[in-house]
């Protein structure tokens, strides 16, 4: 008599991404697994799954960021430890789900004697036992090639575009620099909006400092939306917004997938001409953020559909109509 094996999905999360993971699990009709993460007195992280995952299709969700309770390196290490635990517990397939992929901006050598840390992170996941990687709006598309296995590169664009459709007035999508023009163009096509570019120059004397120089395109009297994959210290976004207002923009919004909001970001945004910042919940927001300024959109439905497609071995591209690669 032929034995039929039932596939089993097991979703588990690190401590940083628990709220998002619970939302995803609810949408999928699954129970969120318990990894029993704990720290020893010396700071070492320990993990032990509460139930057998032998033969399971395991999805380990963790975003890489710094919070008041945990550093970005601990968040990454936590995910790696869970991958190793799943491998040693005889999981059939292990997929790492990284709503925000850490060290993504270190994707190449810009000068001598520098690391390519984004590649190192991919190597660590593979070495720990991951067989697949899912990321959302990676800082550069080339990171897909860093992981030696299947990579599903998702985009939060459908979520942000749906919200932006409610804007009234003559709309212009703005790329904050030349490197994001391709993404901005996709937004402009989907929204039927004009495209503009802010030319920027990074300071050679001050680290992580940006000077916006000029605007390419007509923004006078228009509702301008600056689109980018992330807002870190908000220097790029705020400098661009000031340039747009100087060129006669009626209103300035910002739309981004990853809201890191490091250092002086909140202070800069509150003092800037930006009226609204749309951001997804790939990252937890800092306490005390300005809820009138920052609007959070959920990517949980997007992740839930993707995880279900991967589990059922169906197409992920069809979720986005084939328009999710960059």
Q: Where are the alpha helices (DSSP H) in the chain?
A: 18-28, 72-88, 117-128, 157-164, 181-191, 235-246, 265-271, 300-311
Looking at residue 199, its pLDDT comes to 84
Residue 32 per-residue DSSP state: B
pLDDT for 129 beyond 70: yes
Looking at residue 178, its pLDDT comes to 86
Any idea which of 20-29, 70-79, 193-202, 286-295 has the lowest mean pLDDT?
Answer: 193-202
Q: Report strand pairing: 45-46 vs 251-259.
A: unpaired
Q: Is 200 a catalytic residue?
A: yes
DSSP secondary structure of 273-304: S--EEEEETTSPPPTT--TTTEEEE--HHHHH
pTM higher than the cut 0.85: yes
What integer is the mean pLDDT of 13-36? 98
Looking at residue 325, its pLDDT comes to 56
Task: Report angle CA 216, 219, 220 to the nearest 5 degrees.
Answer: 130
Q: What percent of the chain has pLDDT over 90?
A: 88
Helix (H) or strand (E) holding 229: strand 223-231
Mean per-residue pLDDT of the chain: 94
What integer is the mean pLDDT of 36-46? 96
Which residue out of 165, 200, 222, 245 is catalytically annotated? Answer: 200
Name the more confident of 212 and 201.
Answer: 201
- Tens of pLDDT, residue by residue over 4-14, are 568 899 999 99
Looking at residue 292, its pLDDT comes to 97
pLDDT for 94 beyond 70: yes
pLDDT for 43 beyond 90: yes
- Tens of pLDDT, residue by residue over 205-255, are 566 665 657 899 999 999 999 999 999 999 999 999 999 999 999 999 999
Looking at residue 206, its pLDDT comes to 62
- Tens of pLDDT, residue by residue over 140-192, are 999 999 999 999 999 999 999 999 999 999 999 999 988 899 999 999 999 99
Domains of the chain, earliest start first:
9-155+300-320 (3.40.50.2020), 157-297 (3.40.50.2020)
């Amino acid at each position: 008599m032929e034995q039929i094996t039932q596939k089993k999905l097991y979703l588990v999360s690190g401590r940083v991404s628990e709220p998002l993971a619970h939302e995803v699990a609810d949408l999928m009709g699954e129970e969120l697994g318990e990894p029993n993460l704990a720290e020893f007195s010396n700071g070492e992280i320990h993990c032990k799954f509460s139930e057998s995952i032998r033969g399971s299709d395991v999805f380990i969700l963790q975003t890489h960021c710094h919070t008041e309770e945990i550093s970005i390196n601990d968040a990454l290490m936590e995910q790696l430890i869970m991958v190793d635990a799943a491998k040693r517990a005889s999981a059939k397939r292990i997929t790492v789900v990284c709503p925000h992929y850490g060290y993504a901006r270190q994707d190449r050598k810009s000068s001598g004697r520098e690391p390519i840390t984004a590649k190192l992170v991919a190597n660590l996941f593979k070495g720990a036992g991951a067989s697949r990687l899912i990321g959302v709006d990676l800082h550069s598309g080339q990171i897909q090639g860093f992981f030696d296995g299947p990579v599903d590169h998702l985009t939060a664009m459908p979520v942000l575009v749906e919200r932006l459709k409610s804007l009234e007035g003559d709309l212009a999508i703005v790329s904050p620099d030349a490197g994001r023009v391709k993404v901005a163009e996709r937004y402009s096509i989907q929204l039927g909006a004009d495209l503009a570019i802010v030319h920027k120059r990074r300071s050679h004397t001050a680290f992580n400092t940006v000077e916006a120089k000029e605007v390419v395109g007509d923004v006078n009297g228009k509702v301008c939306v600056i689109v980018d994959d992330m807002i870190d210290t908000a220097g790029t976004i705020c400098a661009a917004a000031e340039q747009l207002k100087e060129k006669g923009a009626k209103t300035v919004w910002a739309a981004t997938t990853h809201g890191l909001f490091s250092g002086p970001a909140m202070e800069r945004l509150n003092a800037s001409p930006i009226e609204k910042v749309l951001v997804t919940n790939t990252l937890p927001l800092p306490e005390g953020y300005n809820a009138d300024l920052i609007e959070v959109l959920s990517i949980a439905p997007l992740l839930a559909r993707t995880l279900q497609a991967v589990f059922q071995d169906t197409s992920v591209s069809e979720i986005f109509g084939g328009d999710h690669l960059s």
